[in-house]
Amino acid sequence: MSKQSATVETSYREALKEAIREAMTRDERVFLMGEDVGHYGGCYAVSKGLLAEFGPERIRDTPLSESAFVGAGIGAALGGMRPIVEVMTVNFSLLALDQIMNNAATIRHMSGGQFNVPLVIRMATGAGKQLAAQHAHSLEGWYAHIPGIRILAPATLEDARGMLWPALLDPDPVLIFENNTLYNLEGTLPENAVAVDIDKAKVMHTGNDLTIISYSASLFKCLDAAKALSREGVEAEVIDLRTLRPLDDATYLASIAKTHRALIVDEGWRSGGISAEISARIMEQAFYELDIPVERVCSAEVPIPYARHLEEAALPQVDTIIAAAKRMVSHG
Amino acid sequence: MNSTIDREHAIDQLRMMLLIRRFEEKSAELYSASKIRGFLHLYIGEEAVAVGVMASLAPEDGVVATYREHGQALARGVSANRIMAEMYGKQEGCSRGRGGSMHIFDAATRFYGGNAIVAGGIPLAVGLALAEMMRGCNTVTCCFFGDGAVAEGYFHESMNLAALWKLPVLFLCENNLYAMGTAIRYTQAAPDIAAKGAAYGMKATAVDGMDVVAVEGAARAAADHIRKGNGPYLLECRTYRFRPHSMFDTELYRTRDEVNQWKKRDPIDLLARRLYDTGGFNDQDMDVLEQSVAVEVEAAVAFAEAGTLEPVEDLTRFVNSERSDA
C-alpha cells in the first residue's frame, strides 16, 4: 500500500455528482429523475454532464409534477428499480408530501412487510441566498417526524460523497437534504472516497465546556464559533448529527456526560422542531448530567425574508451561537 | 356463447361476480356484528368491471387498486380467506391486520393495494410501469381509480407523464357517477372522462361497465394496445354502486328510484340472462354456483374467526427493514 492515499480537490456539488456517477455505474437499477436534471444539468448543476454519460433512459427530465414524479419514483422502487429522485427544494417537496408520507413511509408496514420502497429522494434545503419565503425553508425536521423513512443531512464533502451509496442500499426510503449554501463548498477528499456510515453522529471538534449539537450548514457556523470560543478559553465540543432519523442519541449523550451543558443549533424553526425533539431526549436520558437547562439557537419564527439583513437576522449566526455558549458557560 | 370455451369462461365470470357479491354481503353483515370495523366500502353493483378487466391481465401484470378493492382483489386471485382475515385484523390477513378493508396488498399476485388517498395510487402505477419498461418486461400495470380521482392533480400529472414516456399503464376509471356523495355533474366541468385521455395524447374509450363481456372485450383491446408498445390507455367503465359509499352513508344525495333503475342492469343478472338465453344453463346450474360461492364465503369467515392476533410486541415490525425504529 502507498504511504498516503492521494487526494483530489473537489466541491460539495462535485462530490454529490461523483456519488451519483458511482451508483449508476455500480448498479444498473439506479437512475436519476427530476426537474431539469438532464438537459439543464440540474438546477444546482449537480447532474451536469450525466445525461451525456448515461443517456436519457437513466437521466430523466420530468415535467413540473412533483407529486407524480415522486409517486412514480415510489412505484419504480416497488417495481425493483433503485431510483434517485431530485426535488428542486424542500418547499416544492410539499407538493409531494402526500406521496412521501402516505405511500413511501407507510407501504412496508401497511402491507404487512410484503412490499418495500428502496427509494432515495434528494432535495435542496435552507436559507442564506436571499430566495425568500417560498424557496428557503428548513423542513427536514418535519420529515424527521415520520416513521418509516431515514433522513440524512450531509454537511461535509465526505458525507456528500459517501452517503448516497448506503442510502441506496437501504431497503427503505431515504431523504437526503442538501443545504443550498453548501454546493460551492470546496476542499479535498481521498481519491478513492468511500461510503460512510449513515447511523452515527460525529464529533467534529472536541471540548469539555459545552456540547453544541447541530447539522448541515449550521455545523460550520458552530465550528467557527468553537474556534472563536477557544481563543477565549471556552472549549466547545461540536457534534454533527448527520442523520436526523433515526437520531443517534448515544453520541451527543456521551458528550453531555462530559460537558454537562447542551446547546442545539438548528436552522429550522424552534416550535415543534428537531431541536425540541433533541432537547426532550436530553431531558429524558441525561437530566441529571446537566448543570444548566438545555438552550437552543434556531431560526426566528418568520417566513424567511428576502432582504439580506433580515434573512441574516432570521438565521442562527456565529455571533448568536457564541453569545449563547458564553452565557451558558458563565452560568455553569 | 359461440363455443364451449366461451360458455365455461362466462360461467367462471358469473361465479366470480357472485363470489364478490356474496362475500361483500357477508362483510356488511359482519360489520353490523362488529367483527369488521373501520371503513368498509362495498363494490356491489360494480362487479363486472373488476371481473372483466382481470380477465384481460396476465399473472405477471401489476394491479394498483383503490380503497373499494375487495372485488379487484378477489378477481385478481387474492385468497378470500386472507382478505376476510385482514378485515378481522388478524395476522393471517394479507397485510397481517395492518391495513384492513382499504389496504389489501398481495405480493404473489402483484396486487399493490388498497390505496385510500383518492388518486394517490395513480403515480405509483406510473412508476411500476416505468420499472417494468426499464427492466425490459412486456407487462401492463393496471391502475383502478374512480371518477372522483379525475378531479385530483395526480390524475392529470400522471396521465401526462405516462403518455410522455409511453409507459405501459392501463388507466382504468370506474365511473360510478358519484365522488362519495357528490354527483359528477357538480364536480366536473367536462364530465366525459374518456375525452380527457385524448387531451394527453393517449387512446381512450368508454364502455358499459355493467356488462362484463363488454368490459372484458374493451380491456383486452386496451391491454393489447399497450403490450404492442403504443403507450398508455384510458378505459372508462360506466358503472354504478348499488350500496352506500361506506357503512356511514345515509344516501341523501340520490333517489331510490335512480338506484332501482340501475339495478335493472345488475351485472350478475345481465350475464346470467345471457347464459340462460343461449341455452345450456338453468336454475340448477345457478344453484350450483350459489352453493359453491356460499361454501367459499363461509370458509373465509371460518378462517378469519380462527385467525390469531399478532402479538403487541410486534407492533413496530415492518416500519423499517430488520430494525425497530427509535
Point out the residue among B127, B158, B319 whose CB comes nearest to the CB of A79: B127
Question: For B99-119, what is each residue's pLDDT tens digit?
Answer: 999 999 999 999 999 999 999
Q: Strand pairing partners for B207? A: B237
Q: State whether A55 and A135 are in the same domain.
A: yes
Candidates B152, B161, B166: best to mutate against A (most CBs of A within 10 A) is: B161
Q: Where are the beta strands (DSSP E) in B67-163?
A: 111-115, 141-146
Q: State whether A153 and A247 are in the same domain.
A: no
**Residue B189, burial from CB neighbour count under 10 angstroms (0-12, 13-18, 19+):** exposed
**Residue B55, burial from CB neighbour count under 10 angstroms (0-12, 13-18, 19+):** buried
Domain boundary among A165, A190, A215: A190
B contact residues 196-235, partner A, Cβ 8 Å cutoff:
none
Among B115, B105, B320, which Cα is nearest to A117's?
A: B320
Check residue B3 and give its pLDDT: 63
Q: Is residue A195 included in any domain, yes or no? A: no
In the predicted structure, residue B284 carries a pLDDT above the cut 50: yes
Candidates A58, A67, A97, A170: best to mutate against B (most CBs of B within 10 A) is: A67
Domain boundary among A156, A190, A224: A190
Q: State whether A27 and A164 are in the same domain.
A: yes
Q: State whether A93 and A153 are in the same domain.
A: yes
Range of the domain at A243: 202-331
In the predicted structure, residue B179 carries a pLDDT above the cut 70: yes
CB–CB of B123 and A99 under 8 A? Answer: yes
**Residues of chain B neighbouring A249 (CB-CB closer than 8 A):** 326
Q: Which residue type does B289 have?
A: L
Q: Is residue A33 included in any domain, yes or no? A: yes
Check residue B248 and give its pLDDT: 87
Identify the CATH number of the domain in which residue A181 sits: 3.40.50.970
Q: Let me know: does A161 contact A189? Beta carbons within 8 Å.
A: yes
Confidence of residue B324 (pLDDT cuts 50, 70, 90): very low
Give the count of beta carbons closer than 10 Å to the beta carbon of residue A61: 17
Q: Let me know: does B78 contact B85? Beta carbons within 8 Å.
A: no
Q: Is residue B325 included in any domain, yes or no? A: no
Q: State whether A298 and A173 are in the same domain.
A: no
In the predicted structure, residue B130 carries a pLDDT above the cut 80: yes
The chain B residue lying nearest A65, using CA atoms, is B157
**Residues of chain B neighbouring A28 (CB-CB closer than 8 A):** none
Point out the residue among A31, A68, A115 whose CB comes nearest to the CB of B105: A115
Of A332 and B185, the one with more pLDDT:
B185
Q: Is residue B108 included in any domain, yes or no? A: yes
Q: Let me know: does A296 contact A325? Beta carbons within 8 Å.
A: no
Interval B207-216 mean pLDDT:
98
In which element (H, E) is residue B182 found? strand B182-183
Q: Where are the beta strands (DSSP E) in B209-321?
A: 233-238
Our CA-based measurement puts residue A105 at a distance from the nearest CA of chain B, in whole angstroms, of 8
Q: State whether A178 and A211 are in the same domain.
A: no
Identify the CATH number of the domain in which residue A257 sits: 3.40.50.920
Our CA-based measurement puts residue B133 at a distance from the nearest CA of chain A, in whole angstroms, of 10
Q: Which residue type does A234 have?
A: V
Q: Residues B242, B17, B25, CA angle at the centre, nearest 5°?
A: 50
CA atoms of A57 and A28, how far apart (whole Å): 11
Q: State whether A74 and A217 are in the same domain.
A: no
The chain A residue lying nearest B91, using CA atoms, is A112
Q: Number of Cβ pairs closer than 8 Å across A and B?
A: 156
The chain A residue lying nearest B107, using CA atoms, is A114
Three-state SS at A20: helix
In the predicted structure, residue B5 carries a pLDDT above the cut 90: no
Q: State whether A181 and A277 are in the same domain.
A: no
The set of cell numbers assigned to A76 is: 419504480
**Residues of chain A neighbouring B154 (CB-CB closer than 8 A):** 67-68, 71
In which element (H, E) is residue A331 found? helix A318-331
**Residues of chain A neighbouring B125 (CB-CB closer than 8 A):** 75
- Ranges of chain A with pLDDT below 70: 1-4, 332
Residues 6+ apart with CB under 8 A from B83: B23, B70, B73, B74, B93, B94, B104, B300
Picking from A257-266, B70-79, B156-165, B272-281, which range would have the lowest pLDDT averaged per residue?
A: B272-281
SS in 3 state form for B164-175? HCCCCEEEEEEE
A66 is annotated as an active-site residue: yes
Q: Strand pairing partners for A265? A: A297
Confidence of residue B279 (pLDDT cuts 50, 70, 90): confident
DSSP characters over B263-278: HTT-HHHHHHHHHHHT
**Residues of chain A neighbouring B103 (CB-CB closer than 8 A):** 110-111
Q: Let me know: does A198 contact A166? Beta carbons within 8 Å.
A: yes
CA atoms of A212 and A278, how far apart (whole Å): 12
Q: State whether A99 and A141 are in the same domain.
A: yes
Q: State whether A254 and A310 are in the same domain.
A: yes
Among B24, B22, B6, which Cα is nearest to B68's?
A: B24
Range of the domain at B28: 4-302
Residue A305 is given by DSSP the state: P
The ipTM (two decimal places) reads 0.94
- pTM for this prediction: 0.96
Which residue is catalytic, options A135, A137, A205, A260? A135
**Residues of chain B neighbouring A62 (CB-CB closer than 8 A):** 161
Residues 6+ apart with CB under 8 A from B44: B20, B21, B24, B25, B241, B242, B243
**Residue A194, burial from CB neighbour count under 10 angstroms (0-12, 13-18, 19+):** exposed
Per the structure, the count of domains in chain B is 1
B contact residues 122-151, partner A, Cβ 8 Å cutoff:
122-132, 134-135
The set of cell numbers assigned to B162 is: 405516462
Our CA-based measurement puts residue B296 at a distance from the nearest CA of chain A, in whole angstroms, of 24
Q: State whether A56 and A146 are in the same domain.
A: yes
CA atoms of A228 and A326, how far apart (whole Å): 11
Q: Is residue B293 included in any domain, yes or no? A: yes
Which residue is catalytic, options A14, A35, A66, A295? A66
Question: For B12-42, what is each residue's pLDDT tens digit?
Answer: 999 999 999 999 999 999 999 999 999 999 9
Our CA-based measurement puts residue B30 at a distance from the nearest CA of chain A, in whole angstroms, of 22
Q: State whether A208 and A170 are in the same domain.
A: no
CB–CB of A246 and B325 under 8 A? Answer: yes
CB–CB of A71 and B318 under 8 A? Answer: no
Check residue B325 and give its pLDDT: 40
Check residue B280 and give its pLDDT: 84
Separation in Å, CA B110 to CA A37, B23, B139, B227: 31, 22, 12, 18
Q: Is residue A62 included in any domain, yes or no? A: yes
Our CA-based measurement puts residue B157 at a distance from the nearest CA of chain A, in whole angstroms, of 6
Candidates B128, B132, B156: best to mutate against A (most CBs of A within 10 A) is: B128
Domain boundary among A164, A190, A216: A190
When the pLDDT of each residue in chain B is averaged and rounded to a whole number, the result is 95
Per the structure, the count of domains in chain A is 2
The set of cell numbers assigned to A37 is: 436534471
CA atoms of B216 and B228, how far apart (whole Å): 18
The set of cell numbers assigned to A177 is: 437534504
